[in-house]
Amino acid sequence: MTATEAAAALEDAQLQQHMDRDRENLADDERGPAEVAEWERIAQLLATTGGTYDPKADAVVQDELAAEAEREREKQMEDDKRRHSVDRYLPA
């Protein structure tokens, strides 16, 4: 993604957020502001660094993926622990 494409995506997200304000069921939706903030971050990153956007090189995206993987690992460990504790009480 180029800086021009990111700027266009930011404009689209801002327009969608503006249009959603009039829709009562979307007025409190946090996705609109979050999407605008993310596009602002990407557009600024590209404006500062130039080049194209690559999520694999984006430290924020990689940190989010690492945190998600850690949460999944912790959940798996809890599930295994719970399963092990139940197995202790089952007849052999």
CA dist., res. 27 & res. 86, Å (int): 45
**Exposed e or buried b per residue across 27-61, where buried means at least 16 C-beta atoms within 10 angstroms of its C-beta:** eeeeebeebbeebeebbebbeeeeeebeeeeeeee
Q: Report the range of poorest mean pLDDT among 25-39, 46-60, 73-87.
A: 25-39
* 11-36: average pLDDT: 80
pTM for the structure as a whole: 0.67
CA dist., res. 31 & res. 17, Å (int): 9
Q: What is the pLDDT of residue 27?
A: 60
Asked if residue 5 lies in contact with residue 54, where contact means CB atoms within 8 angstroms, the answer is: no
